[in-house]
Structure 1
């Protein structure tokens, strides 16, 4: 998916093969309680703004919040980053603390890196359950680095809500009944420049 997004972005704007909707945004958050809920709201607002169908936007935002919660629980960096990319009707989400300041050792000593374990499997199941009504989450990946950094990413379909065409406002001249009395011309007969 990342390869497709990059390939589409390299095409000239006039090329018909270029996506009509190709956008991505990224934001970083401090590792604080409730930052996963903030990430959920920000993702929902962004997807809704580009015109995604409301139910799909809510599911993707919910899945993003789950990924953020996982990074908060198992990562150790002071910040983490959420990246959302949209190419036509496909959405790719990545949540990671790679590249941020990893402490020399997390509180309590050596980081406990959960290898394919119950928690990782449970996250994948919860992410899969976010998909309903024909929407499918796929490409779910969870990576743990030896330094404790965590990456969670997934893809989902995001149908764009149909936009109703805006009808132009046509002003019709008022009818004789609606016109009212004609405007009165100002009386300039007594102005300083008037003669007589």
Structure 2
């Protein structure tokens, strides 16, 4: 390798002008390799062939799998059994308040694991967009937390309706679909009525007078 670098320096590098751009230098080097170094003669098994022929017979090996890098951060469980990570909140089962946990994410994975100090996996969640301020709490964690809170209060009655996890109505699902369609640029009818822009609002509002005698109103 050292000899090859010395050969390239003596035969090509010394001829490169000082004001050449990196792109032009690379193109010049490639052209020089094709007409000079690649045509040098080598012998393999008593057969005469060029360097270019040798290179074609020895292709590069395929790239290895991505290195399994693991991101780990230490977090403290909140009183609401939530753990913060990248601008979102992910739940764990109740009973771990103020304990230290480790949030792990393998490079390229779409899930995160929340692991206790003892090494037990408390929860696995699908990763939400960074900074979305989403609270991720599956139904089983909701039920367990509800049971723990009612037991602490000495009350086994069901919580009030506004505390329940009520699924969205058909009307809400239809509205969500219209919003997704608009964001995706699809042509869908929207019967929610016209949207009044600021121009119409300004025309309908009381104009501002600038008469010095009257003053601004």
TM-score (norm 1): 0.25
Higher helix share: 2
Rg comparison, structure with higher value: 2
Q: Relative CO higher for 1 or 2, CA cutoff 8 Å, sep ≥ 6?
A: 1
